[in-house]
């Protein structure tokens, strides 16, 4: 019995000794340094690790692991873990306290950035205040430009010329917008700026700029068209088209003339029935006017003819448009064209200048479209014109053999036009 007690006592001593050894071992591990390798190793609870290691939490075991950085990872804070694991690890690591030796650098960097941001913000506030001082709405700019032009001397001084032209250029840009154009008119812009230049100024550059402003103001703006019409600009523009030999002035006048007349039957009736149609034909007949300006003339004529036809055709199915239709019914633009020599003028331009037309396919297309649109007015004379036939066929044949796609399209247009003009079946008497 006593022997058994001795055996039990010895066993208890051995067990206690073993437990003390394990506790001592764990305590040693906690205090021992972590030796990193290129393989992932578990970091014991409370064990310190050196800086610059790649640290992660193993999601399978829940233990924190570390290893040496690979060569490609040195100098960067990014960790080459799978995307899904990286996101989860990042969330866990964000909640962990930083080591003390990292904190001073981070705090210093943060303070530096804050100071820079404050400086930038102060600069932005200063710039914004300067912007507010100089900011002007479109309406304020327009009024300012009108006042500026009023303050120029009545006689054109060379020193003021650049400022005048800059003022008009700014107005041309601003007055494309309908509201801006109406504000310009309401503040006396037509009377104080544009009308004196177009009617009385002798400087060609100023007249060109003023007519560009006028065209910008009236384009697709019915209220502005009415005001321009009431100031009798139509007659003044027709006079410039009749008398000027300057290419830029004629081009600007045509732009303003078209902006006034398009979709405005009353203006067409009053202007074209007097000097307007004659002015357009005069441009076509002038040997000094370039082909591009003549192309603008036939394009405007073609547009006005098509406009009347489309309105009359649409009014058949729209009784509410009766008043508009009545205005176009009274408009006898086609007879005015015939009486002023439109058919012979177009024939002469194409016949005499077809060699120049060969190198300008876009101008050829404009003339071909106009010939097609006004064919009914001039078929009797055009179909008998050998010169017109030769010119159109020559251009068509030249473009047919071209490798340029655009010229090929124009050649097809010319082929259809020649077919209608010169290949109509002749009636034979029984």
Domain holding 242: CATH number? 1.25.10.10
Q: What is the CA radius of gyration of the chain?
A: 44
Boundary of a domain, candidates 281, 308, 337: 337
pLDDT of residue 424: 61
Is the pLDDT confidence value at 186 over 50? yes
**pLDDT for the residue numbered 47:** 81
Q: Which residue is it, tokens 């002798």? A: 202
3-state helix, strand, coil in the chain (%, to 5): 75, 5, 25
SS3 state at 116: helix
Shared domain for 282 and 397, answered yes or no, is no
* Residue 305 domain flag: yes
Of the three residues 280, 303, 337, the one that is the final residue of a domain is 337
Residue 333: the pLDDT is 95
The pLDDT of residue 310 is: 92
Write the CB contacts of 272 (distance below 8 Å, at least 6 apart in sequence). 261, 304, 331, 333, 336
Q: Would you state the structure tokens that stand for residue 245, as one six-digit string?
A: 């030999």
CA dihedral (28, 34, 35, 40) in degrees, to 10, reads 120
State pLDDT tens for residues 264-322.
999 999 999 999 999 999 999 999 999 999 999 999 999 999 999 999 888 777 766 67
For residue 126, being part of any structural domain is answered with no
Q: What is the mean pLDDT of the chain?
A: 83
Count how many domains the chain has: 2
- Rounded CA-CA distance 110/333 in Å is 79
Query: Please, which contacts does 390-395 make with residues 24 or more away whose CB atoms are closer than 8 Å?
Result: 390/351, 390/354, 391/350, 391/351, 391/354, 391/357, 392/350, 392/354, 392/368, 392/417, 392/418, 392/421, 393/418, 394/354, 394/358, 395/354, 395/357, 395/358, 395/364
| pLDDT number for residue 279 | 97
Answer yes or no: is pLDDT of 123 > 90: no
170 shares a domain with 215: yes
Average pLDDT over residues 5-14: 45
Q: Is residue 374 over pLDDT 80?
A: yes
Q: What's residue 107's pLDDT?
A: 63
In this structure, is residue 103 part of a structural domain? no
77 in any annotated domain: no
Q: pLDDT tens digits, residue range 44-89?
A: 887 888 877 878 877 777 788 888 887 655 544 444 444 444 455 4
| Structural domain for 266, as ranges | 138-337
Which of the residue ranges 29-33, 91-95, 293-297 would you say has the lowest mean pLDDT?
91-95
pTM of the model: 0.68
Contact 211, 253 (CB under 8 A): yes
Q: Quick one: pLDDT at residue 267?
A: 97
């Amino acid at each position: 019995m006593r022997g058994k007690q001795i055996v039990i006592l010895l066993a208890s001593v051995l067990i206690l000794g073993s437990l003390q050894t394990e506790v001592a071992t764990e305590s040693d591990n906690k205090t021992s340094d972590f030796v990193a390798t290129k393989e992932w190793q578990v970091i014991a609870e409370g064990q310190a690790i050196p800086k610059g290691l790649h640290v992660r939490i193993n999601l399978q075991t829940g233990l924190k692991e570390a290893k040496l950085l690979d060569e490609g990872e040195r100098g960067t804070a990014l960790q080459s873990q799978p995307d899904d694991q990286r996101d989860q690890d990042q969330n866990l690591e964000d909640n962990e306290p930083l080591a003390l030796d990292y904190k001073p650098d981070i705090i210093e960097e943060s303070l530096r950035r804050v100071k820079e941001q404050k400086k930038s913000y102060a600069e932005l506030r200063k710039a914004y205040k300067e912007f507010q001082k100089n900011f002007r709405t479109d309406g304020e700019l327009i009024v300012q430009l009108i006042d500026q032009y009023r303050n120029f001397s009545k006689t054109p001084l060379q020193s003021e010329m650049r400022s005048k032209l800059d003022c008009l250029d700014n107005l041309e840009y601003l007055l494309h917008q309908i509201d801006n154009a109406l504000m310009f008119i309401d503040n006396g812009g037509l009377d104080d700026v544009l009308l004196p230049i177009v009617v009385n100024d002798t400087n060609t550059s100023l007249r060109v700029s003023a007519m560009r402003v006028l065209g910008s103001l009236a384009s697709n703006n019915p209220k502005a068209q009415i005001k321009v019409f009431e100031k009798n600009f139509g007659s003044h523009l027709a006079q410039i088209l009749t008398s000027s030999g300057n290419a830029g002035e004629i081009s600007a006048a045509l732009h303003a003339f078209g902006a006034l007349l398009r979709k405005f039957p009353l203006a067409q009736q009053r202007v074209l029935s007097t000097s307007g149609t004659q002015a357009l034909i005069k441009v076509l007949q002038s040997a000094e006017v370039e082909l591009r300006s003549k192309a603008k003339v036939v394009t405007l004529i073609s547009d006005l003819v098509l406009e009347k036809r489309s309105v009359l055709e649409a009014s058949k199915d729209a009784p509410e448009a009766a008043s508009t239709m009545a205005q176009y019914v009274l408009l006898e633009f086609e007879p005015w064209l015939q009486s002023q020599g439109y058919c012979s003028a177009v024939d002469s331009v194409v016949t005499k200048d077809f060699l120049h037309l060969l190198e300008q396919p876009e101008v050829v297309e404009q003339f071909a479209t106009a010939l097609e649109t006004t064919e009914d007015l001039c078929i009797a004379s055009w179909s008998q014109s050998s010169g017109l036939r030769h010119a159109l066929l020559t251009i068509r044949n030249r473009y047919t053999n071209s490798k340029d796609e655009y010229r090929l399209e124009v050649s097809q247009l010319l082929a259809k036009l020649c077919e209608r003009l010169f290949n109509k079946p002749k009636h034979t008497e029984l």
